[in-house]
């Protein structure tokens, strides 16, 4: 089932658009009905619920869902690296690779590029001890980083939040050249990251499972790159080699089935985020950006 979902500005044409919502009635019930919230808090945000969901959609018989889903969710089939009939399961399609030649990477070393296709929110200065609401979620930098010393290091820095949708390309890439450290896994729950909830400030930034990589970027200093798991996202797969230099646009990893979030946290004065992204954020709107596109500059 689909319906009209969250509003965002498409940066390519400046138009206001809406995401279709998949399984809208069920997710609305889970996050807005009292019984649904109780079930979500008690059961659906646990790892086994997402693991079971993921297991089901890895089965070969789920291939029959791919074509209808791709049509309903407006997936661009021209950028696929193979035909729809070649995917082994619905999850295989969600984790698909694409023809990256169709995603030009901004090679200017003074620019910071988007690591994913996603809907972006940009904050030029975030205090470590400030808790505030972002759409239907509660944001807290200290809980996001799960490290008080790290939170102090990034106190007053900029934050970029990129929300991947279920239909988006689910791989994430390095936003600059540099050397990544070891990813640190923070165990947690699996709340949904899309703005389904109308009254409940979902604490997914501080409670969901996430992976934190400190990235020594050549143009922007030490950047914290954070991937956040979500309901139906059973795992975050990292594919890079720690302590080995990477180039901007190189693959970093991918999410399994479901929507999720990538966050980049900068130290103070390390980046100047693009004005249009900040204006849209101040107006309460996400901006749709694509992998390799500039979102800030040194």
| Catalytic residue list | 117, 173, 260
DSSP for 10-76, please give it. Answer: ETTTTEEEEEE-TTHHHHHHHHHSHHHHHHIIIIITSHHHHHHHHHHTTSGGGGGGHHHHHHHTT--
Handedness of CA 139, 140, 144, 150 (dihedral sign): positive
- Nearest-10 Cα torsion for 80, 96, 208, 164: 0
- 25: number of Cβ within 10 Å: 10
The phi, psi pair for 197, rounded to 5°, reads -75, 135
Contacts for 296 with CB less than 8 Å, ≥ 6 apart: 111, 112, 122, 158, 160, 271, 272, 273, 274
Cβ–Cβ < 8 Å for 201, 133? yes
DSSP state for residue 96 in the 8-state scheme: -
Q: Which residue has the tokens 């980046």?
A: 271
Q: Name the β-bridge partners of 211.
A: 185, 227
Q: Based on C-alpha coordinates, what's the Rg of the chain?
A: 18
Nearest to 259 by CA among 232, 222, 296: 232
DSSP state for residue 80 in the 8-state scheme: B
Structure tokens belonging to residue 59:
């089965």
Nearest to 164 by CA among 130, 115, 117, 201: 117
Structure tokens belonging to residue 134:
């972002």
């Amino acid at each position: 089932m689909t319906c009209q979902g969250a509003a965002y500005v498409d940066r390519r044409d400046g138009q206001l658009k809406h995401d279709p919502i998949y399984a809208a009635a069920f997710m609305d019930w889970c996050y807005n009905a009292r019984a649904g919230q109780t079930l979500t808090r008690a059961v659906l945000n646990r790892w086994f619920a997402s693991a079971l969901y993921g297991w089901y959609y890895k089965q070969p018989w789920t291939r029959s869902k791919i074509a209808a889903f791709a049509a309903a969710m407006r997936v661009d089939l021209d950028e696929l690296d193979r035909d729809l009939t070649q995917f082994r399961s619905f999850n295989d399609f969600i984790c698909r690779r694409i023809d990256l030649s169709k995603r030009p990477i901004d090679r200017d070393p003074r620019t910071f590029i988007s690591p994913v296709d996603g809907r972006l929110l940009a904050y030029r200065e975030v205090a470590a001890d400030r808790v505030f609401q972002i759409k239907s979620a509660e944001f807290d930098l200290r809980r996001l980083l799960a490290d008080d010393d790290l939170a102090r290091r990034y106190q007053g820095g900029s934050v970029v939040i990129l929300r991947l949708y279920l239909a988006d390309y689910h791989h994430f890439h390095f936003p600059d050249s540099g050397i990544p450290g070891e990813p640190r896994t923070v165990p947690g729950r699996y709340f949904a990251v899309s703005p389904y909830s109308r009254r409940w400030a979902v604490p997914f930034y501080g409670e969901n499972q996430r992976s934190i990589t400190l990235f020594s970027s050549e143009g922007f200093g030490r950047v914290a790159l954070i991937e956040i798991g979500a309901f139906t996202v059973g795992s975050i797969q990292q594919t890079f080699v720690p302590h080995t230099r990477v180039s901007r646009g190189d693959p970093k990893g991918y999410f399994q089935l479901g929507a999720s979030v990538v966050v980049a946290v900068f130290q103070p004065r390390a980046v100047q985020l693009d004005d249009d992204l900040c204006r849209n954020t101040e107006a309460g709107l996400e901006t749709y950006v694509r992998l390799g596109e500039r979102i800030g500059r040194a």
